[in-house]
A and B are shown apart, each in its own frame.
Chain A
Amino acid sequence: MQRATAPYILILPSFLLAAAIILWPLKEIVSLSLHDVNRFGMIRDFIGLEHFRVLFADPDFIAATWRTLVWTAAVVLGTLIVSVPIALILNEDFYGRGIARILIMLPWAISLTMTAIVWRWALNGESGMLNSALRGLGIIDTNIQWLAEASTAFPMQILIGILVSVPFTVTIFLGGLSSVPDDLYEAAATEGAGSWDQFRLITLPLLRPFINIAFVLNTIYVFNSFPIIWATTQGGPANSTDILVTYLYKVGFRIGRLGEAAAVSLIMFAILLIFTIIYVRLAMREAKA
């Protein structure tokens, strides 16, 4: 009897804590999204899907949704493309590999907020050192006001997003590369395969499960990423760099339309759930393989 209850007692504290902090707010959000709510959070009449209807009629919401897709796709794909060669290099033996690893991993240790604030300063039009560096290199002649309009601010935010996502992705890939047995390459080399063929026919297929997992996890992280955009432009100028998370924060805490903010949360929750299901499927397929 004692043995049968022991595991439940052991998991109980963690389950209760996680459930309280995750399921209870979720219930609140569902209820908010279906009721008329005043500025101070008083719940009034049940209004069904009215908040969702208002959202889908709001051009800012539609724009933020599209921008979120562009943001997520650009950062995730950019990260994967940059990370594969870096991981391949860091997996080799060369002088200074330890230092190279630390340098590449550095953004992971520093808070996104700090990195974003420093970039905001570096991107400043008059005093920013990016402009002076680019002028010094002869790439531009006049200062660019990077954060003053979306056409320059958003690509820079994507660049920052890629830089801070690379460490985690490279780590996953390094884990994958260390599982590739060396004799496979030796066998391929004796068969006369060049290094490109070895990469294409051995490394890439063996790395595929790790690429899949990095893809899904990065998608979730980037989709939810708040500090980069909030600390550089707060979604401005004129909401032109808002993604769903910053839109949600503005609607909820600046404008105080809690019902609509809750509806945005639920829409995001639905999208995340789809990602999660894909992840579980991939993880299970890996576990079986």
Chain B
Amino acid sequence: MSKKLKRSILFWLVLSPIVVVILFPYAVMTISSLKSATEVLNPTWWPSELRWQNFPEMWRTSGIAEALANSLYVSALSTVLTILVSIPAAYALSRYQFVGRDAFRQFLLVSQMLSPIVLVIGLFRLVAGAGMIDSLNVLVIIYTAFNIAFCVWMLQSYFSTIPRDLEEAAWMEGASRWRTLVAVFLPLAVPAMVVTAIFTFINAWNEFVIALTMLRTEGTYTLPIRVFSLVAGRYTVDWHYVMAAAFVASVPVAILFAWLQRYLVRGLSIGAVK
């Protein structure tokens, strides 16, 4: 037996308890989503029949289609807005020396530390005062504001790794600063933009407290609130539908994440340390 094979077996043995505990809830979710209404109450591991029709039934009765659309709208828009606002700020931080640069960096750091929950009372008053409860666009603005710090931070540390020579060469050729930015600099920064965009998207997709506070009518619910509302404060919970809904809400993002995980890890470790 080769040394690497021995090592692999040992490592997998050590990792197996944590892997089992991590996968346990998602296995429960998948299995429960395929059981019938009566069988779901019976905690067996394998259902007597796989009820695929749970998914279309859940889709019709739970209002999840609407929630999916709302979540997509909010997450996509906040991602685009966050990136649009963060790129100039990160560019300024990495390419200019100016008075107040350090103060701005510290402001970003503090704003990253403050989670929405600490400010939720004040935010609610602000939004309610403006008569904008139930507005998805308000959610977009709030998510953008809370993601700016992280995005600027990440983009700036990546921008600083792009050599200035390339831009200077373009200036020598007579290109304007703006033209250089669009034609030379930004194409090089695409990987960092993709990483931060995915992060912002996942954050917005998963956010709970602000959505729970600001969205009061069912038609505006995002996915986490929709699925939570299927469970909270009800006498009878259709757990097989809840699990099917949770499955639909989780799996697309999980696949996206698994696919891009390697870049995320690399990007984050650059951003976190430098």
- A residues in contact (CB < 8 Å) with B: 4, 6-11, 13-15, 17-22, 24-29, 32, 41, 82, 85-86, 89, 92-96, 100-115, 117-122, 126-133, 159, 163, 166, 171-172, 174-176, 178-179, 210, 213, 220-221, 224, 226-227, 230-231, 234, 245, 248-249, 252-253, 258, 261-262, 265, 268-269, 272-273, 275-276, 279-280, 286
Answer whether A106 and B22 are a contact pair too, CB < 8 Å, given A95-B4, A96-B8. yes
Q: In residues 182-240 of chain B, which contact A (Cβ within 8 Å)?
A: 202, 205-206, 208-209, 213, 223-224, 227-228, 231-232, 239
Q: Does B42 sit within 8 A of A, measured CB to CB? A: yes
A residues near B14, Cβ cutoff 8 Å: 85, 89
What is the bound-complex CA distance between A113 and B222, given in angstroms? 12
Can you sample 11 A-B contacts with CB below 8 Å? A10-B92, A15-B104, A28-B121, A129-B32, A231-B232, A234-B232, A258-B125, A269-B114, A272-B114, A273-B113, A286-B273
Nearest-CB residue, chain B, relative to A276: B113
- Do residues B89 and A114 form an inter-chain contact, with CB atoms below 8 A? no
Nearest-CB residue, chain B, relative to A252: B121
Nearest-CB residue, chain A, relative to B32: A121
- Give the segment of B59-67, B162-170, B247-255 that binds chain A: B247-255
What is the bound-complex CA distance between A175 and B265, given in angstroms? 8
- Do residues A100 and B209 form an inter-chain contact, with CB atoms below 8 A? no
- Do residues A89 and B117 form an inter-chain contact, with CB atoms below 8 A? no
- Do residues A117 and B40 form an inter-chain contact, with CB atoms below 8 A? no
- B residues in contact (CB < 8 Å) with A: 4-5, 7-8, 11-12, 14-15, 18-19, 21-26, 28-29, 31-32, 40-45, 85-86, 88-89, 91-93, 96, 98, 100-101, 104, 106-111, 113-115, 117-126, 128, 141-142, 144-146, 148-149, 152, 202, 205-206, 208-209, 213, 223-224, 227-228, 231-232, 239, 242-243, 246, 249-250, 253-254, 256-258, 261-262, 264-265, 268-270, 272-273
Interface of A is mostly: helix
State the Cβ distance, B29 to closest chain A Cβ, in Å.
5
B residues near A86, Cβ cutoff 8 Å: 15, 18
- Do residues B91 and A280 form an inter-chain contact, with CB atoms below 8 A? no
With most chain A CB atoms within 10 A of its CB, the pick from B223, B239, B261 is B261
- Do residues B88 and A265 form an inter-chain contact, with CB atoms below 8 A? no
State the Cβ distance, A93 to closest chain B Cβ, in Å.
7
A residues near B110, Cβ cutoff 8 Å: 273, 276
- Do residues B208 and A227 form an inter-chain contact, with CB atoms below 8 A? yes
Answer whether A14 and B268 are a contact pair too, CB < 8 Å, given A109-B257, A276-B113, A280-B109. no
- Do residues A175 and B272 form an inter-chain contact, with CB atoms below 8 A? yes
Answer whether A109 and B253 are a contact pair too, CB < 8 Å, given A115-B25, A268-B118. yes
What is the bound-complex CA distance between A117 and B111, given in angstroms? 29
- Do residues B113 and A220 form an inter-chain contact, with CB atoms below 8 A? yes
Which of B88, B208, B261 is the one whose CB lies under 8 Å from A11?
B88
